[in-house]
Chain A
């Protein structure tokens, strides 16, 4: 059985130990030590999804280009205004459902720009998501090709959205047309996955042995699965293929174990909680930490699942998010939505400020990143798939010129993804159902 060589970035990780002694939730000290011999600072990507659309009247800035003003909903972006692009007029028409099911269909198309097949059952089909295309291209360089995080574990009752199966509503990351990539919704579990493997007191010999044992188990179960393969029908084999993919990835992890990791394990793990504010903050902190440690370069984050019925009682609201989003032009509903939207943007602004606070060679972590924010729809009442509420922050290592409000007047969202992929060195010229080429105007 072929074994991949140990990953070379491990050398890089050795330099990170000192920083990691800080408690996780109290902010990272800027100034990560990077060895002189390192490759250029990597570019990172985040997709930040928020459900049920945005009340656009209070979102859309006045002014264009570099002369634009923050609206009430965007007010919390003030400290990072020069790091943010507001992009208007982008449409994701593949997100339109057959009949109803706007939230699920548009959520599965959020990063894939592929129309989902309307089904509750076995033949789920959408497209590979942009973050996973990216992970396939750049993910081999890091311990985790991508990270998928979220807040909402789902209630597990009823149907998710008008004949669309729940995976469409609960996942924005898709490894392939029928393979959603599940997200972690408990910060503590995500933390342990990222860091608990690393034990600074373990000897190299012990690590080598653990690795050998781990790989032997993998060999054994892979043989089990191979023996099964020929005795199953097509749909069952598809599930078994998912298993093989899991085993292959596990093998990469086990292989990586032999090297010394970052001593990130000494950071303080977040407490188990269901408070959405604490969970969100902890998840966003984890994203920053994972980037700092170069454990991954691509991350998706779902602030809620499609058609979220969360009650924002801490904002003084008593109704459910989805119910408010069908505002019926009632002022009270607009006001409630604006409060929720503002809170959502505050979370995004927090992430940006944390990233801006991390110094790397040649700039901040934010300078080296593209941090994308949007919802599956624009106006929730009409399930509008045009003129989506889009923010794009960071400089992507120089590929983005932020600090502007750009209006596109109706271009496919997929073209933004073509551009982003290109920024990360992925030579795409089309994407999804309707992406025709890169979007102009992002680099200024």
Chain B
């Protein structure tokens, strides 16, 4: 039943069913999840009431009020969960934050009022109500991302009377109403109502709630007028309309939020801001800036371009300026501006593993860390994170003979039986990247003088030599597609992908790959899924 529903909502009829859910006779190795997920019913899961995080708050006030001052820089930091800072469960509300919201609301309203953009009509001092009603209805609808009831509007208009009582004009009242809109739970939270709060029943979220899920997924911001209108007319679930909206939104510059907030956290590149490599590596602000831009531009090209998402691993082009090109040992493009260049002849630089940002954030400040790099590949690309180390485990002791290469020095990990289980998994992937120093420069010798040995053997006997062969192994791993889905789904929903989501993840990955495997195919498969369009009942049961 659930599968049938999913096919109805999720599939364009032009796609042959067999490609979406291949049977055992479809050829190739049979994935045990296939059989399981054909019979398993889907739980869409339940997204907790989601407070806007800092990025979402800033983007929302930018789109609502045209204010680009990023008021959230004075807010306390957001916690993150499951690798993302848009995880609703760990986005708490606190008195401190409430105070910041209140201050920000006052400042934002004053600034916007002074600019005049909110004053769409003239407040007649004698009878200001009709204009105020229009203005406030329209503002609250946008700020609350849904139609507003007449009663709610009258409540807002009531601030004019309050101002009058204190001897102030209607403008003051309207500004108070605007402030109250900005500290209302309807603004600060992404509200998804339960038609029957005590029922464990699954139900579709409303169309305007779906619009918000979509806009906060792709833009980290509120729906724009076009999206909100489609939702209010009840047309957003039409598969053609939904796809059109997704493509339109991805083409909008606001989709840059996916780069900053999704990719920045998935690929760890956000940590580049905090990286402090040793001075001897010549790392400085222009280099940091160029590395950051390179990863952004690369991922940006995947948002709307025709590349398969998996090609992130070996895309044969990148963006460099003279500084970064020199750093990489590529021919400089002759400009300080980031320029798209082909990596033909430099296969080692192709894809994520050749990117300075990633290589720097997965190194220690003073040496490479094959373990960190290996764990990054396992967790972020294959979702096969190793169990945590035993309590007495630690970094590499510096007393080991420095003339040995790091691989030989790390052999001790794998001699100790308590360590070997995980390190035979983690280390080889990191060894494949050993030709990159702690800031991503190509090298043939380690700092101690030993020759780099970038070969490795993975559990199961797969061997490789160097980054080019290593990334081919990773790219062919059947878990890559599901793992990328898992991270993207966690981010899209603002909740962790749980074990119960395995069939959601499996279906989305299959659908995305069958349609071409581009980032947009993944995004479309996600927004068509039950997990995105529905809401599970509250498993905790009714409140006493």
User: Which residues on A are within 8 Å of B, measured CB to CB?
Assistant: 99-102, 120-122, 124, 148, 153-160, 162-163, 165-167, 170-171, 175, 179-186, 188-189, 192-193, 209, 212-214, 216-217, 220-221, 223-225, 228, 230-237, 239-240, 242-243, 245-247, 249-250, 253, 311, 313, 318-320, 323-324, 326-328, 330, 332-333, 381-383
CB distance A234 to B93 under 8 Å? no
Nearest neighbor of B197 in chain A, beta-carbon distance: A233
Nearest neighbor of A192 in chain B, beta-carbon distance: B74
Across the interface, B73 reaches (CB within 8 A) one of A186, A223, A318, namely A186
A169 CB → nearest B CB, Å:
9
B159 cross-chain contacts in A, Cβ below 8 A = 216, 220
A174 CB → nearest B CB, Å:
11
Nearest neighbor of B280 in chain A, beta-carbon distance: A318
CB distance B184 to A156 under 8 Å? no
List 11 A–B pairs whose Cβ atoms lie within 8 Å, in order of A's numbering: A120-B82, A157-B264, A157-B361, A216-B159, A232-B193, A234-B541, A245-B94, A245-B95, A250-B95, A323-B394, A381-B394
| A100-B541 Cα distance, complex, nearest whole Å | 32
Interface residues on B, range: 35 or more
Interface flag for B19 (CB, 8 Å):
no
Nearest neighbor of B399 in chain A, beta-carbon distance: A330
B51 cross-chain contacts in A, Cβ below 8 A = 239
Within 8 A of A (CB), among B135-151: none
B388 cross-chain contacts in A, Cβ below 8 A = 99-101, 162-163
CB distance A319 to B366 under 8 Å? yes
Interface flags for B294-315 (1: CB within 8 Å of A; 0: not) read: 0000000000000000000000
A6 CB → nearest B CB, Å:
18
Interface flag for B97 (CB, 8 Å):
yes
Nearest neighbor of A160 in chain B, beta-carbon distance: B80
| A77-B435 Cα distance, complex, nearest whole Å | 47
Nearest neighbor of B198 in chain A, beta-carbon distance: A233
Q: Chain A interface: which of B114-122, B207-215, B232-240, B271-279?
A: B271-279
CB distance A323 to B541 under 8 Å? no
Within 8 A of A (CB), among B354-407: 361, 364-366, 379, 387-395, 397-399
Of A155, A156, A165, A326, which is in contact with the most chain B CB atoms at under 10 Å from its CB? A156
| A379-B42 Cα distance, complex, nearest whole Å | 47
Interface flag for B81 (CB, 8 Å):
yes
B394 cross-chain contacts in A, Cβ below 8 A = 323, 326-328, 381
Interface of B (DSSP majority class): loop
B80 cross-chain contacts in A, Cβ below 8 A = 154, 156-157, 160, 166
CB distance A311 to B365 under 8 Å? yes
CB distance A156 to B78 under 8 Å? yes
* Supplied contacts A167-B79, A220-B159, 5 more A-B pairs, CB within 8 Å: A234-B540, A239-B51, A239-B88, A243-B188, A328-B395
Of B73, B92, B166, B273, which is in contact with the most chain A CB atoms at under 10 Å from its CB? B92
Across the interface, B185 reaches (CB within 8 A) one of A167, A216, A221, A383, namely A221
A120 cross-chain contacts in B, Cβ below 8 A = 81-82, 496
| A183-B96 Cα distance, complex, nearest whole Å | 8
| A192-B162 Cα distance, complex, nearest whole Å | 29
| A234-B96 Cα distance, complex, nearest whole Å | 24
Q: Chain A interface: which of B175-183, B220-228, B445-453, B513-521?
A: B175-183
Q: Which 8 pairs, one residue from A and one from B, show the smallest C-beta to C-beta distance?
A: A326-B394, A246-B98, A233-B538, A249-B95, A100-B388, A182-B76, A189-B74, A318-B366
The answer to whether residues A230 and B197 also contact, given A189-B74, A242-B94, A319-B365 and a CB cut-off of 8 A, is: yes
The answer to whether residues A235 and B538 also contact, given A166-B81, A318-B365, A319-B366 and a CB cut-off of 8 A, is: yes
Across the interface, A186 reaches (CB within 8 A) one of B74, B92, B537, namely B74
Nearest neighbor of A313 in chain B, beta-carbon distance: B276
